[in-house]
């Protein structure tokens, strides 16, 4: 994906990344932990219902993965628009 090398293109790419990450964050924390918990609780993971596991531990693992993903993708966007630090 190639954007114009300008401030508007940079912010468009940044906001697109943030939107994707916030959607995943919402689905994992609120969706898997609360909205879909009853359905997920029919599946067991490590002896615990999956909905409970997501509410207690799974969402934390996903949040940590999102932090690393955000850092990597922002570095890619910064290099694409030549605003990276050396």
Confidence at 56, pLDDT banded by 50, 70, 90: confident
Higher pLDDT, 56 or 1: 56
Residue-wise DSSP of 19-80:
HHHHHHHHIIIIIIIIITHHHHTTSEETTEEHHHHIIIIIHHHHHHHHHHHHHHHHHHHHHH
Annotate 15-25 with b (16+ C-beta within 10 A) or e (fewer).
eebeeebeebe
CA-to-CA dists, residue 56 to 8, 32, 38, angstroms: 39, 11, 15
Confidence at 5, pLDDT banded by 50, 70, 90: low
Q: What's the pLDDT tens digit per position in 6-37? A: 888 999 999 999 999 999 999 998 998 889 98
The pTM score is: 0.80
């Amino acid at each position: 994906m190639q954007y114009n090398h300008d401030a508007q293109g940079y912010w468009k790419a940044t906001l697109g990344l943030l939107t994707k990450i916030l959607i995943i964050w919402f689905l994992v924390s609120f969706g898997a932990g609360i909205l879909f918990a009853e359905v997920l609780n029919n599946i067991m993971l490590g002896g615990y219902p999956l909905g409970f596991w997501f509410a207690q531990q799974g969402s934390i693992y996903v949040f940590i993965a999102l932090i690393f993903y955000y850092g990597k993708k922002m570095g890619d966007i910064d290099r694409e628009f030549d605003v990276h630090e050396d």
